[in-house]
Structure 1
Amino acid sequence: MNNTYKLTLLFLLSFSISFSQEKLTKEETINLALEHNYGIIIAKNKAKIAKNNASIYNSGHLPKVSANAGANYSKNDSDTTFKDGSSTSITGDESNSYNASIALNYTIFDGLGRTYNYKKLKETYNLSELEAQTIIENSLVQVFAVYFEVARLTQDTKNIFESLTISKQRLERAKYGFDYGQNTKLQLLNAEVDVNNDSIKYISIQNQLSNSKRDLNLLLGRDITRKFEVDTNVSFSLNFDLESTITASKKHNIEIKKATKSLELSNFDIKINKANLFPNLSLSSSYGWNKFENGTTSFFRTQTSNGLNAGVSLNWNLFDGGTTKTRIQNAKINADNLQVQKELVSNEVERNVINAFEIYTNSLFILTSEEKNVETNKRNFSRTEEQFKLGQITSIEFRQAQVNLLNSQSNLNKAKYDAKNAELKLLQLTGELLNTKF
C-alpha cells in the first residue's frame, strides 16, 4: 500500500473517530469555564473571603464577652515568734482558692469609626466581586480565543486535506501519463513534490490542532487528553453603534466601576480617620465569684464572695501630636488621586472602545472581502482544473490556482474568527460579555 492510500485511510479513520467524539458547544464551554477554570475558582474564593470580612461579626459593633476561671493550691511550713517570746511551728499548712467570672465590654460610641469601617468592608466586598468579574471576563475571552483557534484549525485541516486529495489525484494522472508517454519525468516529479508538501502541511496542522485542544482542556479544568470537536459556526452582532457603544461602556465597563468603587472606599478612609477626633465611650461589666479555703494561720477558715461590677469610661485623645490630622490630609490627597485615576480610566476606556470598534468594523469588511475572494478562487480553480484536464495549461499554473484557493480559504477562516474575537473584546469593554449568548 503506497503513502497516498495510507494518508487517505488515516484521514478517513480520524474523521470516523471524530463523529463519536464529544461535540463541545459554546454554551457548554462557558459553563465548564465558570465551574472549573482555575483562575475563576480562585477569584470566586477571594470574593467569599471579602464577604466574610464584611460580616457584622467583623465590624466591631457587637460586644465582647469573656469568661475566666481558676484554682490555686498552696502548702506551706511556717515558724512564728510572738512578742512574749513564745513561738509555734506549723507544718503542711494547706490553703485553696477558687475564682470564676464573666465580663462584658462594649464600645458605646467611637466617633462613628465602626460604622464607617463596616460600610467600607461592605464596599470592599463589592469591589472584590468586580475584581472577580474582571477575572471571569478575561478568562472567558481567553477561553474563546483558544476555542476559535481550535475551530479555525479544524476547518484548515479539512481544507488542506481536500487540497491533498486533489494533489494525489493529480499525481495519479501524472503517473498514468508518464507510463503512456504523455507526460515528462519533470511533471511527475513536480506532482510528487506537491503531494509531499501538502502531506507535511496536513501533518503540521493536525499537530497544531491537537496542541490547541489540549490548551482548551487545560483552561476548562479537565483532562488535557480528552477528545472533542467544536462548533465552527459563528454569528455576529451587527447592532453596534459607536456613540451608543461609548455611552454603554461609560455606564457598564468593569474598570470604570472599579475606579468608582475605589473612590468610594477612599471617602470612607477620610471619615474613619476623622472619627479619631471624637471621644470614645465604653461600657464594662463583670460578675465574679471567689472562694478561699484558708490554712490554720488565717483568721478566717473559709471565705466566699460574689458580686456584679459595672462601669462606664470616657477616653478622649485631645492631642496626639498631629498624627490624626496628617492621616486625614493624606486620605484626602489619596481621594484626589483616585478621582484623577477614575478620569484617566474613563478616557482610556473610551479610547479602547473606539479602537476596538474600528478593529471590529475592519474585521467585518475583511471577512466580507475574503468571502468574495474564496468564491472567486473557487471559480478560477474550477476553470483551471477543466483546462488542465484538457491539457490547455501547465501543471505549474494548475498548482498555482490550487494554492491560491487554499490560501484564500485559510485567510477566510482567520478573518472569521478574528472578527469574532474583536466582537468579544468590544462586548467586554461595554460590560455586555456575560450577558451575551454565544
Structure 2
Amino acid sequence: MNIKFVFLSMLLMLQASVFAQELLSPEKAVVLALKNNYGIKLAHTDVEIANNNAGILNSGYLPTLNGNAGATYNSNNTEAEFSDGRVTTLKGAESSRYNASVDLNYVLFDGLGRAYNYKQLKETQQLTGLQARETIENTILQLFTVYYNVAELTKNIDALTETLAISKDRLIRSQYQFDYGQSTKLAVLNAEVDINNDSINLMNSKQQLQNYKRDLNLVLGNTILGDFDVHTQVSFNTLYSRSELLEKTKVNNINLLQIDKNIAINTLGVKFQKSNYLPTVGLTGSYGWNKSNNNAASFVAVSTNTGFSGGLNLSWNLFDGGSTITRVKNAKINLEAQNIQKEQLVVSVERDFSNAWDDYQNKLRIFKLQEENINTSQNNFDRTLEKFKLGQVNSIEFRQAQLNLLNAELSRNRAKYLAKLAEFYLLQLSGELLNINF
C-alpha cells in the first residue's frame, strides 16, 4: 500500500511539473525582450540623456545667476600726518570690509550660434531615438534567430525520438528473427549499432537544445526561471509587393534615416561655425552690498553701499588668425562627405533589398520542396517498412529508408525557420519589422 502511494505521488508530481512548464509564445518573447533585454535598456538610457541635452536647461537661452560674498580683515601699524602738522601714530589699527552681490549675465545675441546649437541638440535627440530603434530591431532579429533555433531543435528531437523508437522496434524484430533462425546475428548487431548512433544523436540534440534555451533566455534578460517550450509553427506572408516594400525601404530604412539626421546635424554645424563671424552682445546686472569698517586714520569710520548696477557689453572677434575660417571649411567638407555616404548607402540598401527579396523567395520555394520531399520519403519508408516486416528487404535497405526520412524531416525543419528569418530580415530592411504581429 505504501509503495502504491509513493508511486502515485511521484506520478502526480511528474504530471504537475509537465503541465507547469511554460510555453513561450513569440508575442510574449518580444514583450520580455523589449522590457528586459540589456542592450535595449542601455539604448533607453542613451535616449534619456539625449532628451536631457535637448532641453531648455541645456540650450544656452537662459541667463546665469551667481552669488558672491567676501570678507577682509586688516590689522596695521599706521602713522598719519594731518594738514595742520599733527602726527598720529596707531598701532594695531583694525579695519574690515564685507561684500555680497548677486550677478546676472545674459547673452542677448551671439550670432545665432546658440539657436543653431539648440537645433543640433534636437536633431541629435531624434538621431539617438533612431539608434535606439536600430538596437531594438537588431535585438528582435537576434531574438527570433535563437527562438527558431530552439523551435528547430525541438522538432528535430521529435524526429530523432521517433527514429530511435523505430530502431528499437527493428532490434526486437531482428532478435526474434535470429532466435527463430530467419536471420543472422549480423542483423542484430547492425540494429544495436544504429540504436547507439540514434541515441547519441538524440543526446547531442537535447544538450544543444538546452544551450539554445539559455541563449534565448539571455536575450530576454534572463527572466525565465524554469524550463520552457516554444511554438514550432510559423506562417508566411506570400502577398508582399516587391515594389511597395522597396519604396518603404527608401523611406523607412533605419540606416537611411540616420544618415539623413547626420546630414541635418552637419548642415546646422556649418551655420553654427559661421555664427562666429558675428558679434556677441551681452547684458550684465548686479545687486550688491558693501560695508567697510575703517581704522581711526580714515575720515570715514564706517561706510555701507547697497544698490543695483547693470550694463551692456559687445565683443566682436574681428580676426582670430583664421581659426574660424578653417572650422567653417572643415564643416562644409564634413557635410559633403555625409552626402557622399548617403549616395553610397542608398545604392547599398537597394542592393541589400534585392538580395533579401530573392533570398526570401528562394527559401520559400526550398521549404515547399522540402515539404514535398517529406511526403515522398514517408511513402518510401512506409513501403520499405512493410517489405522489411515481410523479409523482402534487408536491414541495410531499411536503415537507408529510415535515414532518408529523418534527413528529410531535419532539412524541412531547417528550411522552414530559415525562410521565416529571411522574411524578418526583409521586413527589417524596409522598416516594417516593428509594425507586424509576431
* Deviating more after overlay: 321-330 vs 82-91: 82-91
Instruction: Tell me, in whole angstroms, the C-alpha distance in 1 between the residues paired with 2:294 and 2:317.
Output: 45
Are 1:217 and 1:224, in contact at CA under 8 Å, matched by a contact in 2? yes
Give the total of aligned pairs: 426
Instruction: Tell me, in whole angstroms, the C-alpha distance in 2 between the residues paired with 1:355 and 1:389.
Output: 50
Instruction: Tell me, in whole angstroms, the C-alpha distance in 2 between the residues paired with 1:211 and 1:103.
Output: 65
Q: Provide the residue aligned with 1:217 in structure 2.
A: 217
Deviations 1:232-291 (A, max 9, x none): 111111122222221110011010101111111111011101111111111111111101
SS in 2 for 1:198: helix
Q: Provide the residue aligned with 2:238 in structure 1.
A: 238
Instruction: Tell me, in whole angstroms, the C-alpha distance in 1 between the residues paired with 2:14 and 2:202.
Output: 13
Instruction: Tell me, in whole angstroms, the C-alpha distance in 1 between the residues paired with 2:86 and 2:283.
Output: 54
Are 1:214 and 1:224, in contact at CA under 8 Å, matched by a contact in 2? no
Residues 300-319 of structure 1 mapped to structure 2, 5 A cutoff: 300-319=300-319
Instruction: Tell me, in whole angstroms, the C-alpha distance in 2 between the residues paired with 1:14 and 1:270.
Output: 70
Are 1:71 and 1:97, in contact at CA under 8 Å, matched by a contact in 2? yes
Deviations 1:9-32 (A, max 9, x none): xxxx99985442111111111111
SS in 1 for 2:20: coil
Instruction: Tell me, in whole angstroms, the C-alpha distance in 2 between the residues paired with 1:85 and 1:283.
Output: 50
Aligned pair 1:76/2:67, yes or no? no
Instruction: Tell me, in whole angstroms, the C-alpha distance in 1 between the residues paired with 2:58 and 2:275.
Output: 18
Offset, 1:91: 3.8
SS in 2 for 1:354: helix
Q: Provide the residue aligned with 2:344 in structure 1.
A: 344
Deviations 1:336-359 (A, max 9, x none): 111111111111110000000010
Offset, 1:83: 9.2
Residues 240-389 of structure 1 mapped to structure 2, 5 A cutoff: 240-389=240-389
Offset, 1:225: 6.1
C-alpha spacing 1:15/1:167, structure 2 compared with 1 (3 Å): farther
Amino acid at match of 2:114: R
Amino acid at match of 2:60: G
Q: Provide the residue aligned with 2:29 in structure 1.
A: 29
Instruction: Tell me, in whole angstroms, the C-alpha distance in 1 between the residues paired with 2:97 and 2:81.
Output: 27
Q: Provide the residue aligned with 1:419 in structure 2.
A: 419
Instruction: Tell me, in whole angstroms, the C-alpha distance in 2 between the residues paired with 1:151 and 1:136.
Output: 22
Amino acid at match of 1:428: Q
Offset, 1:152: 0.3
Instruction: Tell me, in whole angstroms, the C-alpha distance in 1 between the residues paired with 2:353 and 2:226.
Output: 37
Tell me the TM-score normalised to structure 1 length.
0.93
SS in 2 for 1:35: helix
Are 2:123 and 2:261, in contact at CA under 8 Å, matched by a contact in 1? yes
* Deviating more after overlay: 102-111 vs 233-242: 233-242
Amino acid at match of 2:28: E
* Deviating more after overlay: 290-299 vs 75-84: 75-84
Instruction: Tell me, in whole angstroms, the C-alpha distance in 2 between the residues paired with 1:14 and 1:215.
Output: 26
* Deviating more after overlay: 79-88 vs 210-219: 79-88
Tell me the TM-score normalised to structure 2 length.
0.93
Instruction: Tell me, in whole angstroms, the C-alpha distance in 2 between the residues paired with 1:332 and 1:83.
Output: 72
Instruction: Tell me, in whole angstroms, the C-alpha distance in 1 between the residues paired with 2:212 and 2:230.
Output: 12
Deviations 1:310-359 (A, max 9, x none): 11112222222222222222211211111111111111110000000010
Q: Provide the residue aligned with 2:186 in structure 1.
A: 186
Unaligned runs of 5+ in 1: 1-12
Are 2:167 and 2:194, in contact at CA under 8 Å, matched by a contact in 1? yes
Residues 63-142 of structure 1 mapped to structure 2, 5 A cutoff: 63-78=63-78, 88-142=88-142
Are 1:111 and 1:279, in contact at CA under 8 Å, matched by a contact in 2? yes
Instruction: Tell me, in whole angstroms, the C-alpha distance in 1 between the residues paired with 2:388 and 2:16.
Output: 33
Amino acid at match of 2:233: N
Amino acid at match of 1:321: G
Q: Identity of counterpart residues, as a percentage?
A: 49
Are 2:178 and 2:185, in contact at CA under 8 Å, matched by a contact in 1? yes
Instruction: Tell me, in whole angstroms, the C-alpha distance in 1 between the residues paired with 2:126 and 2:116.
Output: 15
C-alpha spacing 1:114/1:17, structure 2 compared with 1 (3 Å): same
Amino acid at match of 2:238: L
